């Protein structure tokens, strides 16, 4: 299974798309309505998991549970791709977007950011949750992932469960 967690308005064909909401104003319906805190999939059932602009919407107190669920569902040699907004890159490339990166879009319930992300801090959360990862520019993400945009204010992390 290819799992797109928190698809929001961006449904990825060929992937199992999940989101908290089934009634977004401008989005398609996800295949599965669920929380990243309780993914309704068997252990080791996803070969790849994509979290695009998802983790900053998770309260830091809930981050260990969210990443535990991702790790539980991922096959032992599976791959996780995390893409998100980086406040430092935003200040460098698109300072007009700082408020959106700090607070989120607030277009519907759940569309707010609970922490101001950087690639380094996100990588630290992944490491603590049992992932090895590599931080790199979002422009270098393979087309095999359902990435929506390759804006220079975003980071990308390619991660796998630690052995």
Question: What residue ranges define each of the domains in the chain, with the CATH number in brackets?
Answer: 2-161 (3.40.50.150)
Q: Is the C-alpha dihedral spanning 109, 110, 111, 114 positive or negative?
A: positive
pLDDT greater than 80 at residue 28: no
pTM: 0.95
Torsion of CA 144, 58, 163, 12, to 10 degrees: -20
Torsion of CA 111, 39, 60, 162, to 10 degrees: -130
Sort strands 2-5 and 131-137 into parallel, antiparallel or unpaired.
Answer: unpaired
Give me the mean pLDDT over the 22-47 stretch: 91
pLDDT score for 110: 78
pLDDT score for 2: 98
pLDDT greater than 90 at residue 114: yes
Mind listing the pLDDT tens digit for each residue in 64-101?
999 999 999 999 999 999 999 999 999 999 999 899 88
Within 8 A by CB and 6+ apart from 50, the residues are 2, 3, 4, 5, 12, 15, 80, 81, 83, 145, 146, 147
User: Which tokens belong to 45?
Assistant: 């059932």
Distances 90 to 16, 25, 98, 111 between C-alpha atoms, Å: 30, 26, 6, 19
Give me the mean pLDDT over the 115-135 stretch: 97
pLDDT score for 118: 97
């Amino acid at each position: 299974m290819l799992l797109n967690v928190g698809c929001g308005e961006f449904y990825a064909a060929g992937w199992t798309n999940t989101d908290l909401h089934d009634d977004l104003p401008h989005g398609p319906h996800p295949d599965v309505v669920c929380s990243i805190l309780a993914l309704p999939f068997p252990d080791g059932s996803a070969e790849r998991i994509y979290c695009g602009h998802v983790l900053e919407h998770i309260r830091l107190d809930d981050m260990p549970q969210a990443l535990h669920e991702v790790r539980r569902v991922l096959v032992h040699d599976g791959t996780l791709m995390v893409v998100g907004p980086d406040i430092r890159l935003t200040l460098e490339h698109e300072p007009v977007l700082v408020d959106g990166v700090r607070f989120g879009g607030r277009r519907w319930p759940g569309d707010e950011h609970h922490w101001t992300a950087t690639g380094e801090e996100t990588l630290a959360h992944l490491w603590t949750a049992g992932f090895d990862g590599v931080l790199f520019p979002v422009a270098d993400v393979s087309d095999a992932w359902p990435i929506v945009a390759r804006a220079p204010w975003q980071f990308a992390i390619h991660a796998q469960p630690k052995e």
